[in-house]
Structures are given as C-alpha cells and as structure tokens.
Structure 1
C-alpha cells in the first residue's frame, strides 16, 4: 500500500493535513517503502501548484516523494530538490492514435537516475454530469499493448489505473454494489458499471508481473504459466443506441473531439496465455468467425506467452462464445455477455464487459478453491505486496 494524494478532485491539501495523514499511515507495516532507502513512498494526483509545500512536508516526514504532475512538462519538475521521482498518469492514446511511449521516454530522460512510475490502464469512459465529464479515450487493445510497452521500457515502478474507479471505467478490482453510489452522486445518466465486471483483466497479472521482474533482472528463462483466455468487448454496438453526447477525447484537455465510435471499435478483443500456439474462434448469436492469425504473438522464437487478437462484431447480436482449440481439441471456452441493442435509457454503454476462463488442465481449472472470489483475493494480494513492481492507485480524499 502507498498513498497518492488527490489534489485535483478536492483541490489544495494544507501541508499540516498532509503531514498528519502521512504520520498516521506510513508507519503501518503494510505501507510500501522504497527499496533503496527504506523510505515510505508517497505520490499525488496532480498538485504541481503546491510543489513548494513539499520541502516543509519532507522536513517533518522523511518520505520518498514521486508525484504525478502530468499537467507540467517533466523537464520543469524532475530537477526539483524535493522530488525523488515522477509518475506519468497519461496512460491512454489521443483519439485514434496508437499508444506511444514517447512521453514515458521524456520522463525517463528528464529524470536520469531518479525513479519513474509508468501508468498502465485498460480503459477510459466517464459520464458524470456533476463534474462535466463525458468522454472516452481509446481502450480496445490497450491492456495488451501497454503491458508490452512496460516490458520494453522497464521502468522502476508500474502503477495500475485503477483498482476501483468505477466512474471512469478503468477499474480492475471486483465491483462492490455499495460503492456504486458515485453514479447517483455524480448525476450519471445511468449506472454503466453495474453488470460489467472487469475481474478478467487481473487474470494474467501474475504472469506479466513475473515477466517484468525477470526483464529487470535480464532473466531470459521462460516463466511458468497458468494458461487461460481473457476477453473484453462492449455489449452495445455503437450504432444501435444514442451516444449520450459522449465524445472521443475531451476539450477539458484541449484535445480535438470526435465521435466515440471512431475511438472505440465494435470488436471482440481477447488475449490467451498459452504454452504453445492455438486457434481461436468467436461465435456471436450463433454466427461464427475464426481468426486467421493472431494479431500479436510472443517474442520471436518463443511459443509460450501471450497471444492477442480481435474480430469485428459485424452487426451480429446475441450470445458470445469464444473457443480456444489446438489440433481439434478444445482448450478453453468462454461464454460471455450477449451483445444487444437493449440499452438502458437507450444510451450506449461505452464500458466493456470482461471475462476470463482457465484452460483445461491448468492449475486454476484443477484447483477446487479457485472460485472467482478466492482468485480475486489471491491476485489482489499479489498486487498489494508486489513492492517495487506495482502500486495500486490509492487516492485518499478527506471529507
């Protein structure tokens, strides 16, 4: 666990309140300490306007300060004496652009030997009238491609955005019904997280985290895998219901806006963790299509690892069934949420449904204790105590 103080949602944090909060929580045995100097790691969401406060704060709490000040050029903040590193919150591409690591590299170049926290997120859709937020950023292949970028760049830290931000649709944690009051409070036109689990996005995290650790150690040995299939897609095709005045991109960040269907494609996306190549077929409403070849495969020369691809919906409606097979033998079959034009309040839900199924013969498939609930506990424990690998987004807001 570590704290990331939200300076955007509730504005400025008085320094004495920051000190009070840090004194209370950084002493906890579960609080993450930066490995090199054993100092508690502290981050922020924005707050560059209060950068001058941190000399005073750090004089009272000897912490390792790695803020997210993404609204400011990293070259202007990396050299500040009280800044021990920086985090890049910008984890989504602009419009229809392919996700780039150019900004991540700018941070790393500006920081030099100082640590860099690289943000990773699977999706972004928000429609909160109270806060004047109503846009999508590109998701689609992002959960796969961004992790490949992490493995290539090898930053010191990775921060997942997010565990439970239902209002922005990038949660990977379980949905707790008692936490969905945000939709009513924020005057959302409908609850677009209800019935849209994202737990499947956690399924391959142990493998990805292990790959990340091995990469930083220059360990080329192939990791043990727990084979399975993950799929995600929107359950409402973009042309069937009203778009809710949602835009692709947002003027709040001086971006050119466009229709949301230009940013998010009507496709079914899937990743498979395999020890050898396999074939995949997707049936929607009983109409089947097969992928001629995977869009992405493991690194050249390796048969084991992550395979990724997608198929178009092509106006097909009905139950979704995705089947992995090898030499005519079924390895895994995922039966997902039906694709439908039955939209709540006739508004397209731009938030995806995510599912996961283990492959036959895998550890999870044979483990009787591997219910959805127990698997979620194991994975969340892995994330929480992954130390230098992954920090869950933890924005603490005072009432």
Structure 2
C-alpha cells in the first residue's frame, strides 16, 4: 500500500511540474519553475500592475544610512493588447545618404551586393570633453534564477565589451528587489568602474496612488550612496520605460511625478534624483514636465518604428517597385531610414526649448541603439506579433549616426542586454525567458555584443579605433520571408519589410578580399579597404552562411558557423536573427 501511494504521488508531482503555474499578476506565467513575465510589452497602453510590497535588501558595502523601507501599493489594474500601430513615438523620415568617398582606416565603410566601392561615414566631431556613457538595458524580470555569480559574469562581459553600466529595468514582481541588490553587490565586488541605475518599468509598476511612488523612492534612497550608482550632476540617475500616464493620485501627471518623486522631501540632499524618463509623449509637450524631466530617454529611437509595409511601399512607388521584388534602387531608398537621427533632433530640440533647470544644468539626452526587433506572441498570451525593420545593417549604422552627433548625446543605451521576447538581446541567452524559447533558443546574438566595443569606443572618445584584428560578423534570418507555415500565430505584421539577405560586417587590418557565400555554389567577392566594411548578398534557400577574408593569397579568417540553414520549409514563423562571428 505504501509503495502504491508513493507511486501515485510521484505521478501527480510529475504532472504538476509539467503544467504552467499562474502567478498573481496578469500577463505573467511560470514555465519550468521560472516566472515568465510580460515586461516585454513595449507599449505604454499595455499596463500590467498589481499590489506590491517592497522590502529592499541592503547590499553589502552600501552605507548604513541607505536603509530599505517597506511600502505597500494599491492596485491600479489596466491592460491592453498592443500592435505596431499603437506605438507612440516621434515621427522619423528618410535621411539623405552620405556621398561616396574613400575610406580611411579609422572609419567604417559600406559595400553592397553590386559594388565594392566604400561609402565612408563622416569623421565624428572632436570630443567636447563631457563624459559619455554606454549602458545596456537589462531586464530584471528575466533574471528570476540569477545568482550573484550570474550578475558578476554579465558585468564582466559587458565591461570587456565597452559597456559602462546597466539600466536595470524593474517591474512589480516581489522577487525583483533581491535581484537588484545582487546586481549592485556584484558590481561592487567586481572592482570595476561599472555603473548601475534604476529604470522603472511603468507598464508593470502601479502608479495610481501616492503610496505607489514610495516603491520608486525606496529604490532611490537604498542605492543613492552606492559606489556603483550612476550619478549625473552629483544626483542619483534614474529612468523609466513609459510612465506618461502616471499621476500617483494627483491632479495631473506632471504634478504626480514632481510631488511624489522628483521634488519629494525624501529625494533631497544625498538622495536627490536626476530623472531622465522615457515618456511616450509628443516632444513638444516636454515643457509641461519642466519640474520632472532632468533629461530624456528616447527609447524608440533605436528602430525606424514609423516604417510600415504600406509606408515603405509609398516610398518606392515612383520606382515602379514593390516589396515582394525589390531591386537595388528600391532597397537603397528604403534603407535610407536606417540610422536616421530625425527623431533624435526632435527630442534634442524639445529639450533645448524647455525652461532652464533649477541648477542651470544641461538636460541630458539618452539615445537608443538596437540590433533587431521581432516578437511572436499569440492573442491568447501577450498579443504581440510584428517586426521593426532591422535590415541594412541597423546596429552598426545607427551607431555611426550616434557617433556623428555625439556632442549632443550624453548616454547611448543599448536596447537590450536580455529582452528575449523582442529578439533584441546582445547578451548570452540565460536566466528566464518570457516564453520566447520558440524563436530564441539556438539564436545567439553575442556577435553584436563583440561588435559593440568598436562603436562604443568611437562614441566615448570621438575617434574610431584602429583595427588590430581581422574579424567577420554575419547575421541573417532562418527562413524566407514569404514562406507559408501552419503557424497559428500567423506571420508578423510588417514582415514584408525585411529582405532575404545575408548581412556582414568585416574588420580588416589591411586591404583585403572578402568572399561571402550562401551555398557551396553561390558566392560574391568584395575588395575592401582596411577598417570596417558593411557587405551583403542574397540568401539561398536551403543554403548556409560563410565569410572568408583573404590577403596576399592566404585566408586570414574563415567563418562558417555550424547550425545555420536558411530553411525553405520551416515549421513555424521565426523572424529572429542567427548571428555568428569570428573571434
């Protein structure tokens, strides 16, 4: 009888472990014992909030005066499905292309499938002398299984890649304060000058009552004196994702943020905050937030979010082209929106038009850079299934644009280190995925992380570093965009924007020949100067990806990654990227 009962219990436990366990916040589910949290909803109208009691653990090494306090918050539930059309942003238009010119060793160049003539990026302006930072947006909501050693590894890897700190995106889950404490502790123990700051995810955190703001203030007072806390103008730097609808029980949003956060008596003196939120509002309204915004984080500037399939078709209408069969001229027209700084200009002009700060300091501008965007959640889960265009070498091209306006940008924030649900992660795949395994597993993006150091150095110093090692970076999607699959989620909105193309960036120490291949019988050869060149060629269904750098008759780099096939007959839609690099 005992053995039978034990066997029955084992069966029940096995069944229970196989089932997802619901947690107490809408949009959050636990898979494989890890909470899969909807902190990837990149729309301010997709608010997911629940009551939260925060008891922040005091990190080892923090001053004893930074004692945590406990606060309870009231519920302000609201939720909405999201789609690309609901994304608030500044409009962006196609930027004019730079004139072709010879490339120097310190400047990136570009080459297309039809030409090897480089188009040089203009030299960055001289350094203004003001400090520059490159940080990565780190989703704490995806770190449920993290230990101190995981944070230590992330910090060491990020620092070695030219990243100066993490923006810790925090939501409403009760376990997140402990992960934040581990992050600060790991940064302290690293001995590195690695900065951290809180980025409050207001699509998750409640903000309906004055008590809700206590959670935010407690985070600030806990870490304001921490050695690794990022400071600006001698104040504790903090940011948000969204929050433009948060009034904290006050008569207006600006009054709510100023009275309950930025101007609150708790956040004075050593706890004074320097606040650069990402509010999804018309930049022309920034003036109403004069007592709130010390700066601005332009989260959506990392992608050409206003480019849709219909607007792209309009751009090429006079070329008698269509998105299903783009020629080189049409591809170049659409590609001009990649890396444009129009949205940066709008936000910078709006900041300049705001009244002077109380201390007369310049308002900081935080620009975003991102390598990719694809999300594939069904209406029954997070209801997000779309892409933003990331072709035409989005990541390096956006970096080049930011280097060119570096004197106007204080911080570049990489979006993101680990947002797997939206496919724009550059860190290792680890922690807890938000049920995105179907389009993330096996698609490592650390090649983009390795590439980051070159551009981060140029942004911070004003000069592109000399290339001292030959390298190849390759990336591509895993199946034709027009493949038809019995996928219940369906094709992502705006899938027509992307092209079946192998994208490559090569770093060469001297003039070289580069051969790209997408099958054993399909290749293209390019002559490139020393420095950085951007190349591309069409993918071959059923084929692979390969890149070879040849100099003086010898192959100096030969990259043919295992595990990549451009699958002509996929079983589900996956518009994420496979990224490989030599190094």
TM-score, normalisation: structure 1: 0.75
Match of 1:300 in 2: none
Counterparts of 1:1-399 in structure 2, within 5 Å, are: 1-12=196-207, 14-34=212-232, 37-50=233-246, 51-55=254-258, 56-58=260-262, 59=264, 60-61=266-267, 62-69=272-279, 71-77=280-286, 80-90=290-300, 91-93=302-304, 94-95=307-308, 96=312, 97=334, 98-99=337-338, 100-112=340-352, 113-129=362-378, 130-140=381-391, 141-154=393-406, 155-176=409-430, 178-180=431-433, 182-183=434-435, 191-215=438-462, 222-223=465-466, 225-242=468-485, 244-248=489-493, 258=494, 260=495, 262-292=496-526, 304-313=530-539, 315-336=540-561, 337-341=563-567, 346-358=571-583
Give the deviation of 1:214 after TM superposition: 2.0
Distance change (3 Å), C-alpha of 1:170 and 1:222: closer
Deviations 1:219-247 (A, max 9, x none): x5854644311111112222334274233
Deviations 1:30-74 (A, max 9, x none): 22112xx221210000101224333232232211100001x2012
Worse overlay, 50-59 or 107-116: 50-59
Deviations 1:263-283 (A, max 9, x none): 111111011122333222122
Distance change (3 Å), C-alpha of 1:221 and 1:204: closer
Give the deviation of 1:25 after TM superposition: 3.0
* CA distance in structure 2 between the partners assigned to 1:278 and 1:208 by the alignment: 22
* CA distance in structure 1 between the partners assigned to 2:568 and 2:465 by the alignment: 45
Give the deviation of 1:161 after TM superposition: 0.2
* CA distance in structure 2 between the partners assigned to 1:292 and 1:321 by the alignment: 14
The secondary structure found in structure 1 opposite 2:425 is coil
Give the deviation of 1:125 after TM superposition: 0.3
Q: Conserved in 1, the CA contact under 8 Å of 2:470 and 2:557?
A: no
* CA distance in structure 2 between the partners assigned to 1:351 and 1:338 by the alignment: 13
* CA distance in structure 2 between the partners assigned to 1:15 and 1:305 by the alignment: 49
Q: How many residues are paired up?
A: 323
Distance change (3 Å), C-alpha of 1:343 and 1:125: farther
The secondary structure found in structure 1 opposite 2:386 is strand
* CA distance in structure 2 between the partners assigned to 1:132 and 1:221 by the alignment: 41
- RMSD, matched Cα: 2.2
Deviations 1:146-199 (A, max 9, x none): 1111111111110000000000000000001x412x11xxxx6x6110000000
User: Of the two, which has the highest radius of gyration?
Assistant: 2
Q: Conserved in 1, the CA contact under 8 Å of 2:439 and 2:574?
A: yes
Worse overlay, 122-131 or 51-60: 51-60
In structure 1, stretches of 5+ residues that fail to align are 249-257, 295-302, 359-399
Q: Conserved in 2, the CA contact under 8 Å of 1:210 and 1:223?
A: no
Distance change (3 Å), C-alpha of 1:64 and 1:227: farther
Q: Conserved in 1, the CA contact under 8 Å of 2:512 and 2:530?
A: no
* CA distance in structure 2 between the partners assigned to 1:147 and 1:156 by the alignment: 14
In structure 2, stretches of 5+ residues that fail to align are 1-195, 247-253, 313-333, 353-361
